[in-house]
């Protein structure tokens, strides 16, 4: 397995030593013969065409007579790219108006081969191609967008001429702190953190609970939650005259964050 120009050795017998008598094809394309001994033929794989299947049969000929393959057909697999991990940072953009952010995605995987001839390497975020810096099998995508592009889940895609791979990347949900207050009789909890996403992340929820004798008692959270990527404000109607530990749970897609804190009723009221 490999890409265009990979060195492959076929082991067998009765090849002779005259390279001009030997021909090797991969998927019907002639390979470049490097060396021949009576037991080994070394060749370089031909250029891959995106119209081909990635797995191609190897055939070897001596004076145009094809060899036999007692152990089964020989194949060479042109390797497609993969994505193994992704990290993301989102920070206010320097030198641009308020509301613009710099997005940086660092994507690591296998078989990027971005510097190979005619590799046609590209990275896409949510279907849009962005300029990318590649170091081996790590690609860094950096661009600016407005706050509308801040969310929890992104589709990351890597393409090259050997294939493509798409990964659903989700940012971690982090709760840094929360605070309990009363406004016009409504109990409000403001939750600060990151990775909460935005309105395009539909699979999301907020839950609030009190811990009573070691048991979580969940409250009724109003549906009209104020939601930004770094701050949530949720209300509930229950009124309690006690000092207890409260907890909040924020779930976005498959990411869940939980935090608990003791609430002093006298301080709140």
Q: How confident is the model at residue 149 (pLDDT cuts 50, 70, 90)?
A: very high
Which class in CATH covers the domain with range 174-268? mainly beta
Identical fold between 7-77 and 174-268? yes
The residue that leads in pLDDT, 125 or 226, is: 125
Architecture of the CATH domain 82-170: Sandwich (2.60)
pLDDT of res. 39? 98
pLDDT per residue as tens digits for the range 171-217: 999 999 999 888 777 788 999 999 998 767 778 899 999 999 999 99
Average pLDDT, the chain: 93
Q: State percent of the chain over pLDDT 90.
A: 82
CATH H superfamily, domain 7-77: Immunoglobulins (2.60.40.10)
pLDDT per residue as tens digits for the range 230-252: 999 999 877 766 778 999 999 99
pLDDT of res. 50? 81
Task: Tell me which residue of 103, 107, 121 sits closest to 50, measured CA to CA.
Answer: 121
Label residue 34 left, alpha or beta by phi (over 0 means left) and psi (-120 to 50 means alpha). alpha
């Amino acid at each position: 397995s490999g890409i265009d120009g990979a060195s492959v050795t076929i082991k067998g017998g009765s090849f002779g030593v005259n390279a001009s008598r030997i021909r090797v094809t991969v998927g019907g394309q002639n390979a470049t013969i490097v060396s021949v001994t009576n037991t080994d033929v070394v060749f370089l794989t031909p250029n891959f065409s995106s119209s081909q299947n990635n797995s191609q049969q190897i055939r070897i000929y001596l004076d145009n007579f094809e060899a036999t393959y007692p152990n089964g057909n020989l194949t060479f697999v042109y390797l497609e790219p993969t994505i193994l991990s992704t990290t993301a940072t989102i920070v206010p953009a320097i030198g641009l108006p308020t509301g613009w952010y710099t997005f940086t995605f660092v994507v690591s995987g296998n078989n990027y081969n971005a510097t190979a001839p005619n590799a046609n390497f590209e990275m896409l975020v949510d279907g849009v191609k962005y300029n990318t810096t590649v170091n081996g099998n790590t690609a860094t995508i950096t661009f600016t967008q407005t706050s509308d592009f801040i969310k929890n889940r992104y589709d990351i895609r890597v393409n090259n001429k050997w294939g493509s791979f798409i990964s659903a990347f989700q940012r971690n949900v982090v709760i840094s702190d929360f605070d309990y207050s009363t406004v016009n009789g409504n109990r409000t909890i403001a939750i600060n953190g990151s990775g909460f996403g935005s309105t395009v992340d539909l699979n999301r929820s907020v839950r609030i609970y009190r811990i009573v004798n070691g048991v979580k008692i969940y409250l009724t959270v109003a549906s009209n939650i104020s939601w930004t990527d770094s701050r949530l404000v949720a209300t509930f109607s229950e009124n309690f005259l006690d000092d207890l530990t409260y907890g909040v749970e924020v779930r976005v897609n498959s990411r869940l964050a939980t935090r608990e804190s003791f609430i002093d009723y006298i301080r709140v009221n």
